[in-house]
């Protein structure tokens, strides 16, 4: 395939975003690849429950990020440079915004005292559920935008508000046990405070089937993903109107979150400016989405701004972290 063919593969619509022709085999191949990777992860790599240490988490993070970037090359080959640019923009946005999920998971696991050797199993099912929910959010979001273009302005203003709110908020000692979700959970789901290995459900001394703390944490993980998706899905739709690209960017970014969790969960204090950076990214994407009703910012410019904000926030965090005492 020539470079000229690549350029022509993903033509731009009047909105400035690519307008792809999705063949009947594109979705089955994408979903099949995702399913295979999930099965290999749970049945081979993490078949036996064990504590994931930093070295293993770093290697897995590098592998997941490499897979996500390689799929960008697949998009480039199949659909052209414009589509690949939108995929990379969506992937970078989703990867950045999902970092907050990591720190919320850390709070949940610490509160429910889930041993590290069982945490991966909970996150596996959490990611599986997140993928199912994201595809629904993305299709609904694209359908709304395509039917009512003016919703771009409303989504953009919402993202701008979310970004500004993130810049103003700080840790407030979140207590998962006192959340409304857990109160409803305990009202309708018989549960126990005792773990039974990796089991989500067990049988108590009275012979009654009850949920273990792992299932309670899983429920909260899914709920927090819905909350984060309210921000991240519109943010991804700010760079692409294609459900295929938006879902692929979300999926490959989300798949690597488990490894990223084990790598960064205990390092929140070292990234004190990361939340500021994420707030600025959300605000920028909100402004970009709002003005896209009239003018579409080139994807290369969007990518550059997002990468610059993320880099500056990480570098500033590292430089401001006091050196470890010997």
Query: Is the residue at 233 inside a domain?
Result: yes
- Three-state DSSP at 19 gives strand
Query: Is the residue at 9 inside a domain?
Result: no
Q: Is the pLDDT of residue 88 over 90?
A: yes
Domain range enclosing 307:
29-319
Q: Give the tens place of pLDDT for each residue, 199-243.
A: 888 888 778 889 888 888 888 888 888 877 877 888 888 888 899
* Domain count within the chain: 1
Task: Please tell me which residue, 51 or 87, carries the higher pLDDT value.
Answer: 87
Q: Is the pLDDT of residue 322 over 60?
A: yes
- Least confident residue range of 26-35, 43-52, 261-270: 261-270
pTM above 0.75, yes or no: yes
Please tell me the predicted confidence (pLDDT) of residue 5: 41
Q: Is the pLDDT of residue 159 over 60?
A: yes
- Selection from 138, 69, 92 nearest residue 307 by Cα: 92
Q: Is the pLDDT of residue 82 over 50?
A: yes
Query: Is the residue at 1 inside a domain?
Result: no
Task: Quote the DSSP letter at residue 47.
Answer: S
The C-alpha atoms of residue 161 and residue 285 are separated, in whole angstroms, by 11
Q: Is the pLDDT of residue 19 over 50?
A: yes
Question: Which position has the token pair 């919703």?
Answer: 151
Task: Please tell me which residue, 111 or 6, carries the higher pLDDT value.
Answer: 111
The C-alpha atoms of residue 216 and residue 237 are separated, in whole angstroms, by 31
Q: What are φ and ψ of residue 211, in 5° steps?
A: -85, 140
Query: Is the residue at 180 inside a domain?
Result: yes
Structure token digits, residue 295: 């003018």
Question: Which position has the token pair 């953009």?
Answer: 156
Please tell me the predicted confidence (pLDDT) of residue 32: 94
């Amino acid at each position: 395939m020539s470079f000229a063919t690549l350029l022509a593969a993903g033509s731009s619509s009047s909105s400035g975003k690519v307008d792809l022709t999705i063949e009947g085999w594109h979705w089955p191949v994408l979903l099949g690849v995702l399913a295979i990777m999930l099965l290999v992860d749970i049945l081979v790599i993490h078949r036996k429950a064990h504590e994931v240490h930093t070295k293993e988490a770093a290697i897995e993070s590098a592998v997941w990020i490499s897979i996500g970037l390689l799929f960008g090359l697949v998009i480039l080959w199949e659909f052209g440079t414009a589509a690949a640019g939108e995929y990379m923009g969506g992937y970078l946005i989703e990867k950045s915004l999902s970092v907050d999920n990591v720190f919320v998971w850390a709070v949940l696991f610490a509160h429910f005292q889930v041993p590290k050797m069982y945490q991966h199993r909970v996150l596996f099912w959490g990611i599986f559920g997140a993928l199912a929910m994201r595809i629904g959010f993305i299709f609904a979001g694209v359908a709304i935008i395509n039917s009512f273009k003016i919703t771009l302005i409303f989504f953009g203003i919402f993202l701008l508000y979310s970004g500004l709110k993130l810049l103003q908020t700080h840790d407030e000692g979140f207590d998962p046990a006192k959340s409304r979700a857990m109160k409803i959970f305990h009202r309708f789901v018989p549960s126990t405070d005792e773990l039974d290995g990796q089991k989500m459900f067990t049988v108590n001394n009275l012979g009654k089937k009850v949920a273990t703390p792992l299932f309670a944490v899983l429920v909260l993980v899914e709920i927090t993903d819905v909350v984060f998706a309210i921000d991240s899905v519109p943010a991804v739709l700010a760079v692409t109107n294609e459900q295929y690209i938006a879902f692929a960017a979300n999926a490959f970014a989300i798949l690597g979150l488990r490894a990223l969790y084990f790598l960064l969960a205990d390092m929140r204090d070292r990234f004190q400016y990361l939340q500021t950076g994420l707030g600025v990214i959300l605000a920028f994407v909100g402004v970009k989405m709002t003005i896209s009703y009239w003018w579409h910012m080139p994807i290369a410019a969007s990518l550059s701004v997002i990468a610059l904000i993320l880099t500056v926030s990480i570098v500033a965090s590292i430089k401001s972290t006091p050196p470890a005492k010997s």
